Chain A
Amino acid sequence: MTDVSTDSPRSASKGPDMVNMQVWRGDASGGDFKLYEVEYREGEVVLDVIHRIQATQANDLGVRWNCKAGKCGSCSAEINGLPRLMCMTRMSTFEPGQDITVAPMKTFPVMKDLVTDVSFNYEMAKRIPAFQPKPKDADGKRRMAQRDVERSQEFRKCIECFMCQNVCHVIRDHDENKVHFAGPRFLMRIAELEMHPHDTGDRIPLAREELGLPYCNITKCCTEVCPEHIHITDNALIPMKERVVDRYFDPITRLGRAIRRKR
């Protein structure tokens, strides 16, 4: 096969450009941004450039990744202060000449460089009771209409990048809330099970009393950062709040319902 790096008329590709990357280096005891002057080529994403730093200037630079295609949710970081997947952030989206900062997610403790301790999320996942199916049809099959499964399917697009968890103000600056607030990803998991057409469980009291649904004041920051474009707030959190209202007559969250009706 021909070599793809050769110049092509249509894309008018040129030689590599240089960029200044400010990459956070350090561990639990502290750290700081370190400047790397590095090449980048047409079409590259931030993860490519991080990998180039790793291969040529800092072999021990800690970074997580797997799929390089926005499918596994491993490579979350804060790029110029915004939570993004490094593998889906193209270098061409930045102003040429501008320094680019790459920092670990803030809400989780740093392990090393861009790698954070996300065990909080795995602990929360354990607290949600699994799917509890109703009996199957007589022929051993389940019948569910496509439109009925679509609601939960939207939430099952979640790649567990934990960026929604990272931006939610309830825990971002309040470590103490982490014991009683599951965060948008896991409140959404409860919504997913609640909306599953064949689930018989009831997780509303759990969401309200133990996993902190009332703390959410529907700022939608989670929705804004979700790389899967899941409508976390509108489709999962607000309907859950409505279910709580219906059950407990909670006057504050009625507001949420009023807001939603207006849309």
Chain B
Amino acid sequence: MADLETHDFDVIVVGAGGAGLRAAIEAQAQGARTAVICKSLLGKAHTVMAEGGIAASMGNVWSEDNWQVHFRDTMRGGKMLNNWRMAQLHAQEAPDRVLELEEWGALFDRTKEGLISQRDFGGHRYARLAHVGDRTGLEMIRTLQQRAVSQGMAVFMECKVHKLILDEGRVAGALAYWRETGRFVLFRAKAVILATGGIGKAWQVTSNSWEYTGDGHSLALSTGADLIDMEFVQFHPTGMVWPPSVRGILVTESVRGDGGVLRNTDGKRFMFDYIPEVFAAETADSEAEADRWYEDHINNRRPPELLPRDEVARAINSEVKAGRGTEHGGVYLDIASRRSADFIRRRLPSMYHQFKELADVDITATPFEIGPTCHYVMGGVKVDADTAQSTIPGLYAAGEVAGGMHGSNRLGGNSLGDLLVFGRRAGLAAAEYAQGLGAAPQVADSEVDRLTAEALDPFNRTTGENPYSLQYELQDTMHKLVGIIRVRSELEEAIEKVGQLKERAKNVAVEGHRQFNPGWHLALDLESLLTVSEAVARCALLREESRGGHTRDDFPSTSGYWSKINNTIHRDSTGETTITQEPLPEMPDELKALFEEPAK
């Protein structure tokens, strides 16, 4: 501990994606001494990959749009399991957050009138996504990064937060290590904002990068903060399927928003066969009507290809199971026969590029194969809607790591808005909390010594488990047993396997030295991966119904009981993890009334 690099801040933000950067910008603007810590280089977080856009009811394309409609779409997309207050704040504040990005230099695509253009996306009643071609995430992260840099933000890049440290039940700081040198660094801080993103690296076919090991979820749980809804994992309907090395890479929903349709190997637009009752009133039942909708949203209903993601992913899964899939286990996405090559290249430049370079496929000339890929986790840290505070004082969470906002299924475009709205709110609240706290909490030396010794353990073993093999086995287990369609026996098997992997992970060994050693980094990430995998499988076993991103073959319909329940995960000081069923916060009557109007 003697020569440990140590820093003091009011607020540290773990994560430099959209949520983390927006939070840090706000905390610093409030006068809090703020730092951002991230595992990759600045500007490389997952947010950079987002393609389609930011959902915000600015009404630039459809003046009929407003926050109430956006709120309703969000709740219905989430099958009413959303935290209503988060969905409301999000719908109300997203437009301001988008306009703020423009003030910081973002250059969105424009309408004919010169306003920010908005595009159609699944589950959204009106064209609502502010976008820049199909690289909206890049625009967002670069804008926030440039804003943070211009504020003189302290950024610790390629630095991984390994553990959080508490003092008398409050946040006191975080222990991290530099990826480059493997040296430890201690951050003493009054408040910590988790903005670490998701957990998708626990699955084999995923659109998520190596960073998505669920660190924030696991850090929160280990400090005693609660998680909710971990069974809800979104499988995006359209990932690449061929060649194998690109399997899982995302194909943006904008392809469908801009006119692309799904076909099986018989050439049939099969989505018409999968329109669920709840969406029947607003979904076109003929190809002609669906096709007219792109030009006239008022007199036509939306194409079934633009149903919420859970519906589309399940439909594709069923088609493939019924033998109407391609030889690589996908179905066809066809925009070539529906839009001009010019239009496709202009609206979807990076999709064009991605298929051309990675799969030798020209999407302007031919339909291409797609299939579901693990994409997003709706579950996460349980937070207070207004402040983003977790159940532990001084610990906040925003962005994908937070739970509640999206209920059981997230609508496309609602994540980027979520990052901005709740990133800002977390930054505000954390700064206020830190400034209101008298003396800084204390970090005990003995605790730091214990944690560092533990982290170096894998180097002390000459023989042991290979971290890459363990990760592979975990991904295989989650893919096969905790995928889109789940069933009791498989979930039980998954829980048992994850338990065995947890035991084996205690014996993981790494070679080489501490300097930029991905093997060691993965060995340490395994703890989070296993923690979140177990949470997902256990919650999935408990929830005996099908809803949004959780489909049970043995319980195919929704249940009245579960429609009002959040699975809430808690770990006590002995390390025992329990899951309890807590009532969903009750929506006030004036908001309930929004659902009684006839759906258009």
Contact = CB atoms under 8 A, between A and B. Distances in A.
Interface of A: 1-5, 8-11, 27, 41-45, 48, 54-56, 59-74, 88, 90, 111-113, 115, 118, 122, 125-126, 129-131, 133, 140-146, 149, 152-153, 156-160, 193, 196, 199
B146 A122 contact: no
Contacts of B45: 66
Contacts of A159: 48, 138
Contact of B329 (A3, A43, A71, A130): A3
B114 A144 contact: yes
A74 B45 CA distance: 10
A160 B43 contact: yes
A4 B99 contact: no
Contact of B320 (A2, A9, A27, A74): A2
Contacts of A144: 107, 110, 114
Contacts, number: 192
Given A4-B328, A48-B245, A160-B43, A111 B180 contact: yes
B102 interface: yes
B357 A88 contact: yes
Contact of B210 (A3, A61, A65): A65
B269 interface: no
A8 B358 contact: no
B249 interface: yes
A93 to B, nearest CB: 10
Interface in B104-125: 104-105, 107-110, 113-115
Contacts of B250: 69
B516 A111 contact: yes
Interface string B303-342: 0000000000000010011000101110000000000000
B579 interface: no
Interface in B279-325: 317, 320-321, 325
Interface string B499-511: 0000000000011
Closest 8 CB pairs of A and B: A43-B243, A60-B512, A59-B519, A131-B105, A143-B114, A130-B150, A112-B516, A62-B516
Contacts of B595: none
A118 B157 CA distance: 11
B138 A1 contact: no
Contact of A66 (B210, B317, B516): B210
Contacts of B247: 4
Contacts of B42: 122
A120 B245 CA distance: 33
B466 interface: yes
B44 A133 contact: no
Interface in B127-157: 132-133, 135, 138-139, 142, 146-147, 149-150, 157
A63 B521 CA distance: 12
Contacts of A11: 242-243
A131 B104 contact: yes
Given A59-B467, A60-B511, A66 B40 contact: yes
Given A133-B103, A146-B109, A146-B110, A59 B354 contact: no
Contacts of B142: 156, 158
A72 B249 contact: no
A199 to B, nearest CB: 8
B138 A157 contact: yes
Nearest to B354: A69
A144 B108 CA distance: 10
Interface string B40-52: 1111111011000
A74 B39 CA distance: 12
